[in-house]
Amino acid sequence: MSGWESYYKNEDDEEEEQEESPEAGGDYKYSGRDSLIFLVDASRAMFKSQDEDELTPFDMSIQCIKSVYTNKIISSAHDLLAVVFYGTEKDKNSVNFKNIYVLQELDNPGAKRVLELDQFKGQQGQKHFQDLIGCGCDYSLSEVLWVCANLFSDVQFRMSHKRIMLFTNEDDPHGSDSAKASRARTKAGDLRDTGIFLDLMHLKKHGGFDISLFYRDIISMAEDEDLGVHFEESSKLGDLLRKVLAKETKKRVLSRLKLKLNKDIALTVGVYNMVQKALKPQPIRLYRETNEPVKTKTRTFNVNTGSLLLPSDTKRSQTYGSRQIVLEKEETEQLKRFDEPGLILIGFKPLIMLKKHHFLRPSLFVYPEESLINGSSTLFNALLTKCLEKEVMAVCRYTPRQNIPPYFVALLPQEEELDDQKFQVTPPGFQLVFLPYADDKRKVPVTEKVMANPEQVDKMKAIVQKLRFKYKSDSFENPVLQQHFRNLEALALDLMEPEPAVDLTLPKVEAMDKRLGCLVDEFKELVYPPDYNPEGKVTKRKQGDEGSGSKRPKVELSEEELKAHISKGTLGKLTVPMLKEACRAYGLKSGLKKQELLDTLTKHFQD
């Protein structure tokens, strides 16, 4: 009969797998692989840069796509990616449309695909592109979208997200040809109806990119509502990478839950994970001869007969005291269910009541969902607006899933923020902050502090002011992880040596010394005595010094305490030095082993 701990362990493992799987959250309707087609305009305008020092729009697009490929290999290698060029001289597609070249069909990202893209980087890459594929002029965007739809339909796997990312610097591709423009709008609408979303990564052009000429009717507005606005065109690689990352990153909800304001009023919200600890991927066991992954299967057998046991043949048990309690699987599941999943509003508190030392774990993000209850966004926005006006937070009881105990959480209102390019930096919604229980708070012993005088405080303020900088968490990468993945990248791409990772966590000592100047020496003079030497050795105490006696202090036990230990059977909890000291105090002769000391003391007091 297996222990109950193993049952809980297995259940927890299953829950963790569910949370990471696409179907986490019960109401989550997507499951399968993410798929993304990079659709790149290869007309002549994409190969012209406005300044000599700037990258061409085509080169920016290729570098951006390569960056997504390498990130996908590390983060989610099961996703499907493809690259399609349009406006080309040569054509290669399943429908034999002119001026459309499918470079890579939808498949998992790999080293060979990255190397193939790398051939189109820089001046040499553009020349290679002209020789291999070439630039054309005439094309039909509706035919381009048709080819992309066929690429999705040819995939045998189940796909959760189907997305097309369009790179171009032409804001009116069909100009005066209204028939082609109309067909393109119709085809884009058909794709949207079948769950294929089109995102525009528009690049800088002379005179500016006017999205209202054509692409406002083409791109998927429903998806753009997550970002709030259509951002401006990109002129730098960094801006383009940031926008592609924002569009490409999965926005899968952990769960869709009801936020109950009272018994009669509720709305649906989606809970998103904002911070996930980055770990090295687990090693995969391979069969030695074929290098194919091997699967591990666990079977339960009867100890006496050796026969295979089915799940229905086993029960769970837990020992309480000396009695073994047997529970059925249904009973254990009922014990673990505290409440239905959801958020229940308890009340409101001022924002100033939430302290920094209340932090338990990274917060989650709450955003409205219309999938279950219509009108949730309207009610959610009204609640968010009032919380921002009154500077209060909503205190709720949060139950993520049925078999997880409830948490007390605070919903902190968060206002939308846009940067100079009208790109959303911070989305509107609530930060779900986990509040500590009374058991989570520790009682830290207070030590005596030596208070600094005002002169020392002022000097340290000047030092701190000199070393201030604007902290951004995404400016610091884990150097161990970065080097690990660069080593893997070098092996996969057959590079001579991996690119060294820069450890950004190390302090910039020279820059700090230059900023501080003589402030550090002045602070030392104020705090430390003149003859202070931090590198000097501590002088050892002499044998004749006071308090230099035996290493262990003598512990004396009274006769009543020893008798109490013997009667309770707790004499064995005493240490050997304490037992020796007790035998010496009563003039008892005994051996050196603990059991001999216990026997001697027990016999003495029982007699």
Q: What is the pLDDT of residues 538-550, one digit of tens each?
A: 554 544 444 444 4
pLDDT at 480: 87
Output b/e per residue, 509-528; b: 16+ Cβ within 10 A. eeeeeeebeebeeebeeeee
Instruction: State yes or no: is 29 an active-site residue.
Output: yes
| Helices assigned H by DSSP within 391-467 | 454-466
Mean pLDDT, residues 501-527 taken together: 87
CA 265/CA 127 separation, integer angstroms? 63
N residues, the chain? 607
DSSP conformation class of 29: -
Mean pLDDT, residues 111-125 taken together: 86
Mean pLDDT, residues 424-448 taken together: 86
pLDDT in tens, 60-78: 888 888 888 887 877 777 8
pLDDT in tens, 132-170: 888 877 788 899 999 999 999 988 888 878 889 888 888
Amino acid at 80: L
Cα separations in angstroms, 605 against 341, 447, 572: 62, 43, 15
pLDDT at 373: 84
CB 200 within 8 A of CB 211: yes
Q: Looking at the predicted structure, is the pLDDT value of residue 108 above 60?
A: yes
Q: Looking at the predicted structure, is the pLDDT value of residue 4 above 50?
A: no
pLDDT at 477: 82
CB 269 within 8 A of CB 376: yes
Read off the pTM: 0.58
Mean pLDDT, residues 260-281 taken together: 86
Q: What are phi and psi of 165, to 5 degrees?
A: -115, 115
CA 495/CA 498 separation, integer angstroms? 7
Tokens 């006006």 belong to residue: 389
DSSP conformation class of 401: S
Among 9, 29, 251, 514, the one annotated catalytic: 29
Pairwise pLDDT comparison (9 vs 528), residue with the higher score:
528
DSSP conformation class of 329: H
pLDDT confidence bin for 530, thresholds 50/70/90: confident
Q: Looking at the predicted structure, is the pLDDT value of residue 28 above 50?
A: no
Cα separations in angstroms, 458 against 23, 466, 467, 474: 57, 13, 15, 32
Q: Which two tokens stand for residue 490?
A: 């070098």
Q: Which of 254, 273, 256, 259 is nearest to 365 (CA)?
A: 273
Q: Which two tokens stand for residue 60?
A: 């920016």
pLDDT at 388: 94
Q: What are phi and psi of 489, to 5 degrees?
A: -65, -40
Selection from 81-85, 313-317, 478-482 with the highest mean pLDDT: 81-85
CA 109/CA 82 separation, integer angstroms? 9
- Look at the alpha carbons of 125, 130, 136, 137 in this order and tell me if their dihedral is positive or negative: positive
Q: Which of 102, 105, 80 is nearest to 157 (CA)?
A: 80
pLDDT at 349: 94
pLDDT at 565: 82
Strand pairing of 266-273 and 364-368? antiparallel
Tokens 């100033």 belong to residue: 352
pLDDT at 545: 47
Tokens 């980087």 belong to residue: 121
| Strand, coil or helix: 319 | strand
Q: Looking at the predicted structure, is the pLDDT value of residue 351 above 90?
A: yes
Strand pairing of 392-399 and 300-301? unpaired
DSSP conformation class of 230: P
pLDDT at 25: 37
**Strand positions, DSSP E, 204-314:** 255-260, 266-273, 300-301, 308-309
Least confident interval from 161-170, 213-222, 313-322, 494-503? 213-222
Mean pLDDT, residues 433-446 taken together: 86
Mean pLDDT, residues 12-22 taken together: 37
pLDDT confidence bin for 46, thresholds 50/70/90: confident
For the chain, what is the mean pLDDT?
Answer: 80
Tokens 């939808």 belong to residue: 106
pLDDT at 366: 93
Q: Which two tokens stand for residue 270?
A: 């989606």
CA 359 to chain centre: 17
pLDDT at 250: 59
CB 154 within 8 A of CB 105: yes
CB 276 within 8 A of CB 363: no
CA 317/CA 323 separation, integer angstroms? 10
Tokens 């002029």 belong to residue: 137
pLDDT at 232: 61
* Helical (H) or strand (E) element with 186: helix 178-193
Q: Is 569 left (phi over 0), alpha (psi -120 to 50) or beta?
A: left
pLDDT at 229: 40
CB 435 within 8 A of CB 409: yes
CA 604/CA 583 separation, integer angstroms? 10
CB 118 within 8 A of CB 66: yes
Sequence-separated (6 or more) residues with CB below 8 Å from residue 11:
336, 403
Angle 329-336/4-20 helices, nearest 10 degrees?
60
Sequence-separated (6 or more) residues with CB below 8 Å from residue 433:
354, 358, 359, 363, 409, 410, 411, 412
CA 464/CA 516 separation, integer angstroms? 9
DSSP conformation class of 89: S
CA 562/CA 553 separation, integer angstroms? 19
pLDDT confidence bin for 261, thresholds 50/70/90: very high
pLDDT confidence bin for 350, thresholds 50/70/90: very high
Q: Looking at the predicted structure, is the pLDDT value of residue 8 above 50?
A: no
CA 105/CA 37 separation, integer angstroms? 9
Amino acid at 579: L
* Partners of 369 in beta bridges: none
Q: Looking at the predicted structure, is the pLDDT value of residue 233 above 80?
A: no
